[in-house]
Amino acid sequence: MNILVMAIDFYGVFTLLMVLTAASSYINFRYLKLPPTIGIMIIALICSVGLVFAGKISISFKSIPQSIITSVDFESLLMRVMLSFLLFAGGVHIDIQKLKKQMAAILTFATVGVIISTCVVSVLMYLTFTVFGLHVAFIYCLLFGALISPTDPIAVLGILKKANIPSNLEIKISGESLFNDGVGVVIFATIVELARLGTDSISIGQISWTFLREAGGGIIWGLLLGYACFYLLRSIDSYQVEVMLTLAIVTGGYLLATYFHISGALAMVVAGIITGNKGKEEAMSDVTRDYVGKFWELIDDILNGILFLLIGLEALVISFHSKIVYIGLITVVIVLLARFVSVLLPTLFLQLRRPFERNTIPILTWGGLRGGISVALALSLPYSMHRNEFVPITYIVVVFSIIVQGLTIGRLAKKLGAKKS
């Protein structure tokens, strides 16, 4: 058995993930008929639980799959590889005209909303840990608030496709999730630095500059990438080369963003929106437009499937104990409450200028899904920053969010009859 584990190299792991993703997709499409991302994750969770029980019969049933999942650096795979493709693909399919109409709301939710949610979560988590007799410093609770507050664009975009939510609400939720991901990662990185160096070592000016460099630099870089791609696409008519150019923009652009210490996530969103709108309308022939659209849709579906499979299989390697499970269940309520407050306050302010759709607040609250990015950020924490507590708690919140909220958001919107007031 040890020889088998040693023989599983990168290609072997990738092959296994692809086979499992394809098999899960087939089972879900053929029998479960759930939204693809949710169905794949549920199947993976069932397999994980089954392997845990099988491990009681023979340790090999559990140890080998655990070794394989442990060999996958989830945080690096998602944040350094998959995220760029998924965010660009999400941006490509965003309608810029609808986005412009909702831009004020989207940017407010993606910035002010994330900050409000981070603060609410951190205060309530600090109280919760205290009640359960766990001594977690407030700065680390703030850190948890930062990693759990951004809604996950990968989860949101993958599930909203099947949710039948009114278009204005859908663009608010999907647009917010695309932009608040970059904002949330910047806030998280800043708080990690504060926790590492201490509040006395970093000034407000340094924090502001870090945020401005990361977020502002990411948006500017995305504009440059998007328009560079546009001019290149406009100068030729070859769908093979044009697809490769979009691929190069994503891989090269994200790598350079990391090198320059700016937000690659925001850069990919902006570049994707420009390519998917201005690029498609003014620089592509009908044939190229069809190929580019289908190529990025396929990339999106494949990577989403692998990601949600990994989220389900992560249950094999995350350690749970009763106290943490109770705290995790309480955290589900805390995160939903924080989401409600972070949606309510900006909405009340924004409604002074223009009306919102009826029942916007409950739908935006329930539609704010958490996903792989929160898990990846939790896994990136050092053990000294309470990683052992935060990872399982985050996992519980994410699983509830994707399965319960993801399966019911469409029905909730239909029941509430969201219409413009």
pLDDT score, position 166: 73
Report whether pLDDT(5) > 60. no
Q: Provide the pLDDT confidence category of residue 65 given band limits of 50, 70 and 90.
A: confident
Q: Provide the pLDDT confidence category of residue 164 given band limits of 50, 70 and 90.
A: low
pLDDT score, position 180: 86
Q: Provide the pLDDT confidence category of residue 70 given band limits of 50, 70 and 90.
A: confident
pLDDT score, position 270: 95
Q: Report percent pLDDT > 70 for the chain.
A: 94
End-to-end CA distance of the chain: 63
Mean pLDDT (whole number) for 202-230: 89
pLDDT score, position 420: 41
Q: Is the pLDDT higher at 62 or at 106? A: 106
Q: Report percent pLDDT > 90 for the chain.
A: 60
CA distances from 71 to 5, 74, 76, 77 (A): 10, 9, 12, 11
Q: Is the pLDDT higher at 172 or at 140? A: 140
Give the global pTM: 0.91
pLDDT score, position 295: 96
Mean pLDDT (whole number) for 214-234: 95
Q: Is the pLDDT higher at 82 or at 3? A: 82
pLDDT score, position 275: 96
Please answer whether residues 337 and 399 qualify as being in contact, where contact means their C-beta atoms are separated by less than 8 angstroms: no
Q: Is the pLDDT higher at 404 or at 409? A: 404
pLDDT score, position 286: 95
Domains and CATH numbers, the chain: 2-70 (no CATH), 74-416 (1.20.1530.20)
Report whether pLDDT(142) > 90. yes
Please answer whether residues 350 and 110 qualify as being in contact, where contact means their C-beta atoms are separated by less than 8 angstroms: no
Please answer whether residues 223 and 270 qualify as being in contact, where contact means their C-beta atoms are separated by less than 8 angstroms: yes
Residue showing tokens 């709301």: 105
Closest CA to 152 of 121, 122, 173, 123: 173
Report whether pLDDT(194) > 70. yes
